[in-house]
Amino acid sequence: GNSVTQMEGPVTLSEEAFLTINCTYTATGYPSLFWYVQYPGEGLQLLLKATKADDKGSNKGFEATYRKETTSFHLEKGSVQVSDSAVYFCALSLTGGGNKLTFGTGTQLKVEL
């Protein structure tokens, strides 16, 4: 079956630190990959996506590269801010799969001054 594995949180960083949140996937086919962010008390927002191998998704200083050879889609940001504190979800969707999203368990990020 299809699955997404994320590094466990919570992750606590100082402001301006480098962020990596690991995400690997298992899929029967060629998935599209996504990162969603959930700020405290809010719903999920699409942060970035990549639809084929070697694509790089980027938004708000975050980026992730679709690595087919390692089945990974790690989220990175060079310099985090307190406002980046949120829960980050990696997800996949398969072509022909009715656009159903399979989510990882989420990684909570806390950025401190």
Partner 1 sequence: SAVISQKPSRDICQRGTSLTIQCQVDSQVTMMFWYRQQPGQSLTLIATANQGSEATYESGFVIDKFPISRPNLTFSTLTVSNMSPEDSSIYLCSVRAGEPYEQYFGPGTRLTVT
Question: What residues make contact with partner 1 under the rule CB under 8 A?
Answer: 32, 34, 36, 42-46, 49, 51, 89, 93, 95, 98-101, 103-106
| Least distance (Å) between residue 113 CB and partner 1 | 26
Q: Considering only CA atoms, which of 28, 30, 19 is closest in space to residue 88? A: 19
| Least distance (Å) between residue 4 CB and partner 1 | 9
CA dist 54 and 35 (Å) reads 16
Q: Name the residue nearer to partner 1 (CB basis): 25 or 36.
A: 36
Strands 107-112 and 11-14 come out as: parallel
Q: Name the residue nearer to partner 1 (CB basis): 70 or 96.
A: 96
| Least distance (Å) between residue 54 CB and partner 1 | 17
| 3 DSSP β-pair partners | 26
Q: Name the residue nearer to partner 1 (CB basis): 15 or 52.
A: 52
Under 8 Å between Cβ of 23 and 5: yes
Return the amino acid letter for 111: V
